[in-house]
Amino acid sequence: MKALRLWEVAQAGPEGLTLRIDGRHLLRLEALEADLIRVSLLNGGAWRNPRTWSIAPQEDVPWEGRSRDSRAGFGCPALRFDADTATAETDRLRVKIHAPLALEWHWRPNVDAPWQPLMADRPEAAYMLGTRDHRNSHFLRRHAGERIFGLGEKTGPLERTGRRFEMRNLDALGYDARSTDPLYKHIPFTLTAREGGRAYGLFYDNLSTCWFDLGNELDNYHPAYRAYRAQDGDLQYYVMAGAGVPEVVARFHRLIGGTAFMPLWGLGYSGSSMALADAPDGQAQIEAFLARCRSEGIPLDSFQMSSGYTTIGPRRYVFNWNTDRFPDPEGMAAKFAAEGVELIANIKPVLLDDHPRYAEAEQAGLFVKDGETGAPETSAFWDGRGSHLDMTNPATLRWWRKGLREALLERGIGNTWNDNNEYEVWEDAAQCAGFGEPMDIALIRPLHGMLMTRASSEEQKRHRPQERPYLISRCAAPGTQRYAQTWTGDNRTGWETLQYNIPMALGLGLSGFFNIGHDVGGFAGPPPGPELFLRWVQNGIFSPRFTIHSWNDDATSNVPWMHPELAGEVKAAIHLRYRLMPYLYTQLYRAVTEGAPILRPRFYDFPADATCWEESFDMMVGPDLLVANVVEPGAERRAVYLPDCAEGWWDHATGQWHAGGQWLDLAVDLASIPLFVRGGTVLPVATAPCRGVADTLTARALAVFPSGAEGTRESLLYEDDGVAVDALAGNHALLRFQLAQRGAETTLAHRRSGRFTLPYREAEILLPEGFSGTLAQATGPLGHGARLAI
């Protein structure tokens, strides 16, 4: 590695600035938006990998990738360069170039505002490149008061400052939610909040293994710094800035292509267990699970079939059916379909070396190849060895789609669980087809899981062209969220996992991954005891993905009725989720269209409140719900901080109003789910008896929570039929409610847009018990239980 020092201007113009570094390298700065600048460092003046699959500002990336130099889909304002001061700027971002090579950044909210410091490279050895390889590094100054977030799925506290992390996709079965690193996902994005409210994001567009040191390392020869180091690939990063965290999160979300709009049923309870599909009578066990949910009154919308259906002996073979365990897959699918429950089948991108179709795939050249021999690479996989399918080979993608269609879709199983797709191929020079331009797997290891999921998505769309597809993927990189929901992998049963999965989810949300969840109850280890299981369910009902899943050491299954003494409380929690389904679906809509995380830390909505920046296991669900679940054993009291806001907070359980900016000391029991609603909120809820999300569409109530302060707040309700592919193109109904507070009088108004015909014509008004004022609309008063025409 060699530090870069000397620079000269090679080219300057409105499209960007190019510097020649140490006589042989090129550094480019390009303004893609006023608040988004791309920095590209070309080792020897050339790209190591000239393509990206993560950047998709307007439309999806071509299968073969997008040019790293492409400016398509961006506004591309002029980048003004002043040679005398060595400064380049847009209306909102300014970068000054120092010698030796180091960049100093400033930001302003508008052209009339003064420039404010944003970030700066460390003054010496800010950039380093390999001289005999393609390693690269970037070093930034660390400033007192900065708070660093992001990096997606990481363990421990939400704030990353002072720690070191690695991006290298692993099958981290039974990880420690407080300390294990790395995990399943590769998301090289940091979000830094600075004093004064401003924030910036840094996205390093590189799929190679890399490390982030955010203050763990000290060096006497440099001031406090943070580091990004990559094993291979290109040093290209995107700088985005804004007036606060939400602005930066939304900008990054747009940059990487947004979020897939999943069907409504994907928010419903999804049953699963390794033990059920692994049982000798797997089909009977899964059908019995469906029947038990119905008899217990547990709503159910889908079932995730673990890989036990593919086994031959003790091993697992993608696209194979074990007909002893599952004698009638078509009949099973029909039985679930008749109950309105979707099946989601586990699929894996590795063929064990004795797979019935291994020779076929080898002859067709579908595998990643050994870098020395050209034979299929072989790696450890599921109690054996296998070869990874090369998803950068169009022939492999065709084979994959055909296998998916014949093994699953044509049998009535319309959804996929894209699993074990971390591609643990540790020969860095193993060769991938690269869509006609062969490349080392070290450059694109996480890409294979993304392309696997994309191929599954496209085949599902062909199979059900009138419905939005549902997929889930365990491995992910920026771009995977365009196709699939994800979850935090194979967690280990324990109270600490329940606790630290919460900041893990919030970290994903701040990193552009909004449709997420956990294995409720814990996947690996002992079965959860009654209290732990209940608390996990009470927390899990607020995540977009709500799946109780397990592979317990004693071969039991985590299921809603596993602890009869608390089955009633578990059932009540699940029914609360379905009651809140209209609100959750609206937050999914806002995530897709606005780039707003569904689960987010308190400071996202209340940045001026210093207490909201402190580490906590509390979270916001959308802008209106504060969740402060009980996550400690034997708790009889729960301290809850209510963020400081003039509107105040309503206790969802008691209907009592509390001023913001204070601590409450709540008495709690096993049934307690501490939930608070922000004043001024109109909370849409479902009211019909419920076996699944289809029932939640038929009737509505509006829970009105008046504000404790003068003014007006707006709440949204998004509705469609739950599956339509043209929903976002107008086949929906969007209701905007304005709740105005004037003294003791609260006035409710609403307006509606979209062409979707609602299945109901009115909604019941619900008021909290502690409300003593009056509620009215333009035509007259509204009382508790009144009907409002929609």
What are 89-103's pLDDT values in tens digits?
A: 999 999 999 999 999
Tokens describing residue 168: 């290298």
| CATH topology (fold) of 679-790 | Immunoglobulin-like (2.60.40)
- Looking at residue 252, its pLDDT comes to 98
Question: What residue spans in the chain does CATH classification 2.60.40.1760 cover?
Answer: 2-151+188-255
State percent of the chain over pLDDT 90: 98
- Looking at residue 383, its pLDDT comes to 86
| 752: pLDDT strictly greater than 90 | yes
Average pLDDT score over residue span 682-711: 95
Position 193, amino acid: A
Which of 342, 437, 435, 351 lies closest to 397 in space, CA to CA? 435
- With cut-offs at 50, 70 and 90, classify the pLDDT of residue 75: very high
Three-state SS for 285-316 is: HHHHHHHHHHHHCCCCCEEEECHHHHEECCEE
Centre a 10 Å sphere on the Cβ of residue 439 and count the other Cβ atoms it contains.
Answer: 18
The pLDDT tens digits for 133-180 are: 999 999 999 999 999 999 999 999 999 999 999 999 999 999 999 999
- Looking at residue 303, its pLDDT comes to 98
Task: Compute φ and ψ for 496, nearest 5 degrees.
Answer: -65, -35
- With cut-offs at 50, 70 and 90, classify the pLDDT of residue 196: confident
CATH homologous superfamily of 2-151+188-255: glycosyl hydrolase (family 31) (2.60.40.1760)
Mean pLDDT of the chain: 97
Quote the CA–CA distance of 288 and 186 in Å, as a whole number: 38
Strand order in 116-120's β-sheet? 80-82, 87-89, 93-98, 102-107, 116-120
The pLDDT tens digits for 468-495 are: 999 999 999 999 999 999 999 999 999 9
Quote the CA–CA distance of 173 and 523 in Å, as a whole number: 9
Average pLDDT score over residue span 206-232: 97
- With cut-offs at 50, 70 and 90, classify the pLDDT of residue 689: confident
Centre a 10 Å sphere on the Cβ of residue 46 and count the other Cβ atoms it contains.
Answer: 10
Instruction: Please report the sign of the dihedral spanned by the C-alpha atoms of residue 655, residue 658, residue 662, residue 667.
Output: negative
Average pLDDT score over residue span 389-404: 98
Instruction: Please report the sign of the dihedral spanned by the C-alpha atoms of residue 263, residue 267, residue 270, residue 274.
Output: positive
| CB distance 755 to 723 below 8 Å | no
- Looking at residue 709, its pLDDT comes to 96
- Looking at residue 495, its pLDDT comes to 98
The pLDDT tens digits for 102-139 are: 999 999 999 999 999 999 999 999 999 999 999 999 99
Average pLDDT score over residue span 450-457: 98
- Looking at residue 353, its pLDDT comes to 97
| 779: pLDDT strictly greater than 90 | no
| CB distance 187 to 206 below 8 Å | no
Question: What residue spans in the chain does CATH classification 2.60.40.1180 cover?
Answer: 679-790
- With cut-offs at 50, 70 and 90, classify the pLDDT of residue 778: confident
Quote the CA–CA distance of 185 and 389 in Å, as a whole number: 19
Quote the CA–CA distance of 362 and 479 in Å, as a whole number: 29
Average pLDDT score over residue span 385-399: 98
- Indicate the angle between helix axes 445-463 and 394-407, nearest 10 degrees: 50
Q: Is residue 431 within a helix (H) or strand (E), and if so which, with residue range?
A: strand 431-432
